[in-house]
A and B are shown apart, each in its own frame.
Chain A
Amino acid sequence: MKYWDIFVAFFIPGILGYGGGPASIPLVENEVVDRYGWMTVQEFSEVLALGNSLPGPIATKMAGYIGYDVGGVLGAFVGVFAAVAPSLIIMILLFGILLKYKDSPKVKRLTLYVRPVIAILLGVMAWSFFQESIVGIGFWQTAVIIIVSYLLLERVKWHPAFVIIGAFVYGGFFL
């Protein structure tokens, strides 16, 4: 039953996450935090932070770690399989047919229509992270970290890994 739950929790984001790995982040959160209650928002944000500071595809890192956390090595395997296999199998089996229709407006609309949903889910998640942080360390600390990390990431173009390490250092000394 546990392994079935892990399978479902990563199969749904895998099969609905249009827009690559990042699109499946909020869908994974929906299953893992809201539906199955395997982690708190705080724990999920740690997984995401660490995932973002390590190389490699993000969706499979989350599936692997959360699967491991819930069900050990077999859980990790089930999580990764559920996230990767369905769309990979479709791709291999239907490559010829898909290639023929890749320029069809219908196929293009598939990705297009899903974008606002992913945007809303990501936005709501960002908002819940900010709220969580205000409750934990107060408004001013949160605001300063938000502004500094935004400037470093988007203006100075620091690598996310360095920004996250910077946040770890700041938090370790001052919070």
Chain B
Amino acid sequence: MRTHWNIFIAFFRVGMLGYGGGPGSIPLIHKEVVDKYKWMTADEFGDLLALGNTLPGPIATKLAGYIGYRVTGLWGMINAVLASIIPTIILMIVLLTSLSSIRNFDWVQGMTAAVIPVVGVMLAVLTWQFIDKAIGGMGWLQTGIMSAIVFILLQFMNVHPGIVIGALLVIALVQKDKSKRDDGSREGGTS
């Protein structure tokens, strides 16, 4: 019981303090799991993070779920995932629902109109981070060519992004490995 309580508190803290989406909570998870509760060593955590980054989907919940599972099995997993996501989901539902019930006031419309360009800027910054990491991993030429092809497929031919990503995953797996070492791809791995 005590362990379950610890898992809950550890991931609750991570969820409530991890600003900046999932990646923002990685150092907090490290602090709880390695430094405070010593559920794994720093090396194991590093492996877990590297592995989590090679799989798709949200990183914070993959880490929480796996660590919870390692500590106390299935219930630990459920406990850790819920502790890290439920509080902010509830907050989000409460805030957005109250926002929509007062939507007809002029000042609320002004507020929501002003936030759109700000979110645009945040997305533009994220765009740049992904491009930058792609360039770090495979050079600007290959990144440029791939981006151009992908842009045409998505915007002009209206291919579902899932199909484009799926095709690229298949290419990544069947492509023959080059003999030269591929160093650049590790550094960008933490997102």
Give min CB distance, A101 to chain B, whole Å.
9
For B131, the closest partner residue in chain A by CB is A119
What is the minimal beta-carbon distance from A20 to any residue of chain B, in angstroms?
4
Give the Cβ gap from A63 to chain B, nearest Cβ, in Å: 8
Do A113 and B168 have beta carbons less than 8 Å apart? yes
Contact between B107 and A92 (Cβ–Cβ < 8 Å)?
no
Q: A57-B21, A65-B96 are in contact. Are A14 and B56 (CB under 8 A)?
A: yes
C-alpha spacing A118/B150, complex, angstroms: 10
Contact between chains at B22 and A87 (CB < 8 Å) = no
Q: Are the CB atoms of B84 and A91 closer together than 8 Å?
A: no
Binary flags per residue of A121-164, CB closer than 8 Å to B gives 1, else 0: 11111110110110011000010011001100110000111011
Q: Which residues of A are found within 8 Å of B165, using beta-carbon distances? A: 16, 18, 114, 117
Contact of B191 (CB < 8 Å), options: A20, A83, A159: A20
Which chain B positions have C-beta within 8 A of A61? Answer: 85, 88-89, 92
| Complex alpha-carbon distance, A91 and B110, angstroms | 44
For residue B119, which residues in chain A have a CB less than 8 angstroms away from its CB?
Answer: 45, 48-49, 52, 129
Write out the residue numbers on chain A whose beta carbons fall within 8 Å of the beta carbon of B18. 55-57
Residue A95, interface by CB 8 Å: yes
The answer to whether A120 touches B61, judged by C-beta atoms less than 8 angstroms apart, is no
Residues of B within 8 A of A149 (CB): 117-118, 121
Q: Are A174 and B110 in contact (CB under 8 A)?
A: yes
Q: Which B87-120 residues have C-beta < 8 A from chain A?
A: 87-89, 91-93, 95-96, 99, 107-120
Category for how many chain A residues contact B: 35 or more
Asked whether A112 lies within 8 Å of B137 as measured between CB atoms, the reply is yes
B125 and A161 contact, CB distance less than 8 A = no
Q: Could you say which of B1-9, B33-41, B46-54 contacts chain A?
A: B46-54
A110 near B69 with CB under 8 A, answer no
By the criterion CB–CB under 8 Å, are A80 and B85 in contact? yes
Give the chain A neighbours of B16 by CB distance below 8 A: 55-56
**A55 contacts which chain B residues (CB < 8 A)?**
15-19, 88
Task: Check if B56 sits within 8 Å of A17, measured CB to CB.
Answer: yes
Q: How far is the CB of A122 from chain B (nearest CB, A)?
A: 4
Rounded to whole angstroms, the CA-CA distance of A36 and B50 in the bound complex is 34
Partner of B54, one of A24, A51, A98: A98
Contacts of B189 in A (CB 8 A): 111
1/0 per position for B73-95, CB-CB distance to A under 8 A?
A: 00001000100110111011101
A118 contacts which chain B residues (CB < 8 A)? 130
Contact surface of A with B, Cβ cutoff 8 Å:
12, 14-27, 30, 42, 45-52, 54-61, 64-65, 68-69, 76, 80, 83-84, 86-88, 90-92, 95, 98-99, 102, 104-127, 129-130, 132-133, 136-137, 142, 145-146, 149-150, 153-154, 159-161, 163-164, 167-175
> Could you list 13 further interchain pairs (A-B, Cβ under 8 angstroms) beyond the known A16-B161, A56-B60, A57-B88?
A14-B57, A20-B60, A24-B57, A56-B87, A76-B89, A84-B58, A87-B58, A92-B65, A112-B172, A117-B164, A136-B116, A164-B118, A167-B117
